Amino acid sequence: MLTSKIHRLVGGGAAAAFIAGALTVATPLQAQTLIPGVTGCSVPGGQQEGGAVVGAVLGGLLGNSVSGHNRTTGTVLGAAAGAAAGSAIGCQSQKTRAQRQYGDSQSGTYARGGYRLSSAIAPASYRRIGETFMATRSVNLRAAPTTNSGRVGSLREGERFQALASVAGSDWILVGQGGVGVGYVHGAYAEPSAHTYAGSN
């Protein structure tokens, strides 16, 4: 009897791990279709996807252990619910981190050139990008598209961010948080990422 319980638990864990693996390798659109809400957080970062994977594993194990005779269905439903909960927690974590890093950009903004900008940064002439980029090294965000302007935040190496626009006639990029420009990074320290953020055109 103990052996059969172990086999059932291992089977449930394997199913949950399979679902988590599917979430990891799926494209954002595929993951959104599989379990609504797993992608599409308004603030970029990796916590949402990580939370969904962890939630899928834990939810699958829990669903397997409480589902009685139909353990496969319990595992799948538990994994789906766990992924959704983990995704929501991860997205909130991304928002909290962004607020600590950049401040609440929504509280002091102004419109310029078709963009909402944090009051901490200077406006410029823009060319729309609307994609997700990734920092190729740890780098400061600047209040204006010059190296001698004030520091208004930072990006970690490998961190994805909203590239709202490029600054016309330069290699600088307007970095966004929730669609609001919060600083500038030089293009030498950033490259396009395969991911896209919600609301990009």
DSSP assignment of 17-60: HHHHHHHHHS-HHHHHHHSTTSS--SS--SHHHHHHHHHHHHHH
- pLDDT 10s digits, 38-59: 555 545 567 767 777 876 788 6
- Beta-bridge partner residues of 36: none
DSSP string, 107-173: GSEEEETTEEEETTS----EEEEEEEEEESS-EEEESSSSTTSPEEEEE-TT-EEEEEEEETTSSEE
**DSSP assignment letter at 188:** G
* The pair of three-digit structure tokens given for residue 52, joined into one six-digit string: 């969904």
- pLDDT 10s digits, 25-40: 443 433 433 444 555 5
Instruction: Among 17-26, 157-166, 168-177, name the one with the lowest average pLDDT.
Output: 17-26
User: Average pLDDT of 60-76?
Assistant: 74
Domains in the chain with CATH codes = 2-102 (no CATH), 105-192 (2.30.30)
If one compares 172 and 100, the residue with the highest pLDDT of the two is: 172
Report pLDDT for 31.
Answer: 41
- Integer CA distances (angstroms), 191 to 1, 97, 133, 154, 188, in order: 56, 22, 5, 16, 8
If one compares 36 and 157, the residue with the highest pLDDT of the two is: 157
> pLDDT grade, residue 2 (50/70/90)?
very low
> pLDDT grade, residue 200 (50/70/90)?
very low
